[in-house]
Amino acid sequence: MDVFVELFVEVNVVAKQKQPYVTMKGTKDGLTLHLDDTCSYDDLLEELEEKLTASEKAESDGPLVSVHLKVGNRYLTPKQEEELRTLIRRKKNLVVESIESNVMTKEEALEWKRKTEIVSVSKIVRSGQVLHVQGDLLLIGDVNPGGIVIAGGNIFILGALRGIAHAGYYGNKEAVIAASIMKPTQLRIGDVMNRAPDYKTDERNEMECAYIDEHNQIVVDRLQLLAQLRPNLTRLERGV
């Protein structure tokens, strides 16, 4: 018990005297505030208020200065983030541009995983069926007419796409659709849509990909072009 009390007092004293909870650094893109992640949240708020009031930067009438908050290993609830933004915004020309934390909740982590992972599914998506994944979809099988596949990310089909595919479902226009046989009734990427021609073609449409070009239109082309068009598809760290 005694030891604890002593320790507490000492830390407190040290922090108060030597180590500030808030350190400011001016950079070329504004102001970076490092916020201590071991003190209590209330102490942090108090010192932030003090520091900003004292800082002449915060009081000047000059142009808006963007502020980047680095909060280390502290988890901020959305409410706390809002509180920090409001506090800083009250200082005339400061505005929070980013809040960077090393930690996230398990829920956020799972969400992040869902949105970035490749989900592989082996089946035939038949008429009337809808297959929806959050991240990238790797379908081993066909999408028959009347069937729909939807992905938050890219769609890769090892098989024939004869139904509808919607990639970048949450608005990602960089997303692509690739298929061994590309004979869709409709393609959608983000909010852009493209449908099959009304006439039947004899083209084989093997190994093709679809993406949004610079005119905001979905175009279909050879699969091999993706390497240049979407270099981000490569996730191999050091390359071949």
Residue 142 in the binding site for other proteins (CB under 8 A): yes
Which range, of 108-116, 139-147, 167-175, 219-227, touches other proteins by CB under 8 A? 139-147
Quote the least distance from Cβ 128 to other proteins, whole Å.
5
Residue among 128, 132, 216, 227 that touches other proteins (CB under 8 A): 128
Residue 127 in the binding site for other proteins (CB under 8 A): yes
Neighbour-count burial for 185-201, b at 16+ CB within 10 Å, e otherwise: bebbbbeeeeeeeeeee
Residue 36 in the binding site for other proteins (CB under 8 A): no
Residue 234 in the binding site for other proteins (CB under 8 A): no
- Beta-strand pair 94-100/30-35: unpaired
Map residues 72-111 to x or -, x wherever contact with other proteins holds by CB under 8 A. ----------------------------------------
Residue among 66, 144, 185, 205 that touches other proteins (CB under 8 A): 144
Residue 233 in the binding site for other proteins (CB under 8 A): no
Cβ pair 125, 131 in contact under 8 A: yes
* Distance, CA of 10 to CA of 33 (rounded, Å): 25
Residue 132 in the binding site for other proteins (CB under 8 A): no
Subset of 105-124 contacting other proteins (CB under 8 A): 124
Which tokens sit at 86? 């409001």
Give 130's Cβ-side CA count (13 Å radius).
4
Site for other proteins, rule CB under 8 A: 124, 126-129, 142, 144-147, 162
